[in-house]
Amino acid sequence: MKRLIEFDVLRAVLLLMMVVNHSPSQLRRFTDQPLGFFTTAEAFVFVSALLAGMLFRRRAEKDGFTTARLSTVRRAWRIYRAHLLTLAFAFMIGSFFSTDFPGVRNMLDHYLANQWMAIPASLVLLLRPPLMDILPMYILFSLLTPVAFLVARKWGWKIVILLSAVVWLVSQARVVDLLALACSDISYVQLGPFDLLAWQFLWICGLFFGQHFQGNGSVVTLPRFCTIGFGFLSVGFLAWRWSSTWTGIDPNINTWLLDKWHLGILRLINFLVTGWVVSRCLRLPKSWEIPLRPLSQIGRQMLPVFCCQICLSILLVCGIESRNCPEWLIAFLVICQVVTVFLLAWFFETRSQERASRNQELKNASGSPQFVGSRHSTGNAVFSPEPLTS
């Protein structure tokens, strides 16, 4: 079955922007919130949930709810293993180079304060160092997916959306901040800046649109005046975003309505209306598939490439913070890291194709309809672990 190249390309663009955003470079001015008051994190979470909803409903209808639930749990396990490898790399850097690079101490201070307790805490996702807090969120939200579909089967998606909205509303009272404050004296607990009680609403919305797309073959339709209104709203947010850059007044700081970590209401509206407008232009012409192949490779190999880039970002940030590097050198290093995204995607894609060829040969030799070993490269993708039909 053919994958949806639109989502592979979209995820690749988001990953390239994320690489720049994670660097202490002035290039971030062009990649951090370019379309309004939202970042690549919001887009990553929503697109991931959209694809998860599509896949879960398709598998549930084909093989049953239990099979779909087990597949989702296995996907969460794959992400968890990748997260552990990323943590192992970071902890190794922290153990051996903390005295040579002050930047390491700044990033891994919770780990270095109590290493023997930090390791088991990280295993249960209580320790989420900077740059390594996104995968734990995907793990927990992946486990939330079967629960959402189970509730939807019994009471409908309106109840699921309503419950999720109530939890988001509770999160605006800064409940997670109070919990973090209570754990501030425990060195091996670092929950990260993302308020999961707030961000789960974005995930649930993505699941809803994803399962609707899978079931009806089209995106949810809205009246024409709504689409026009969304267009004007997205343009207004875009103008506000870039005008604030030139005036030097950051609305993200001045109002909780645009708060990122707690997903303020204006930020949420900004993302949803802009996402709707972008989705109208997302369908790519078939003739673009070949020139966009390097980007689609990144999308297909998202999980291994994502983890490698997190490790490279850790090295870059720690090294730059430990040295007084000129801006041109920082920009050059960031551009080099962006190039490695394409190289790593090509490497993992080649390996996956070779593995698929060997599996096919073994299947033909044995006459068995089952594959031996792992599946094609789609099994590695964080956000789209199976082929997607167009």
Tens-of-pLDDT digits for all 390 residues of the chain? 456 788 888 999 999 999 999 988 889 988 999 999 999 999 999 999 999 999 999 999 999 999 999 999 999 999 999 999 999 999 998 888 776 677 788 888 888 888 899 999 999 999 999 889 999 999 999 999 999 999 999 999 999 999 999 999 999 998 888 888 888 888 888 888 999 999 999 999 999 999 887 544 455 667 777 778 888 999 999 999 888 877 767 777 667 889 999 999 999 999 999 988 888 776 655 567 778 889 999 999 999 999 999 999 998 888 887 677 888 899 999 999 999 999 999 999 999 888 888 887 787 777 655 444 434 333 343 444 443 332
Predicted local confidence at residue 284, as pLDDT: 58
**Structure tokens of 197?**
């009680």
Our count of domains for the chain comes to 1
Q: Does 177 map to a domain?
A: no
Q: Residue 200 and residue 45: Cα distance in Å, rounded?
A: 9
Q: Does 216 map to a domain?
A: no
Predicted local confidence at residue 287, as pLDDT: 63
Chain center to CA of 155: 29
| Residue environment code for 346-361, b if the CB has 16+ CB neighbours within 10 A, otherwise e | bbbbeebeebbeebee
Q: Does 357 map to a domain?
A: yes
Q: Does 330 map to a domain?
A: yes
Predicted local confidence at residue 341, as pLDDT: 96
Q: Does 55 map to a domain?
A: no
Residue 360 is part of which domain span?
Answer: 1-32+288-390
Q: Does 222 map to a domain?
A: no
Q: Does 322 map to a domain?
A: yes
Predicted local confidence at residue 309, as pLDDT: 95
**Structure tokens of 91?**
């902890």
CA-closest candidate to residue 9, choices 350, 288, 207: 288
Q: Does 301 map to a domain?
A: yes
Predicted local confidence at residue 148, as pLDDT: 97
| Residue environment code for 140-170, b if the CB has 16+ CB neighbours within 10 A, otherwise e | ebbbbbbebbeebeeeebeebbebbeebbee
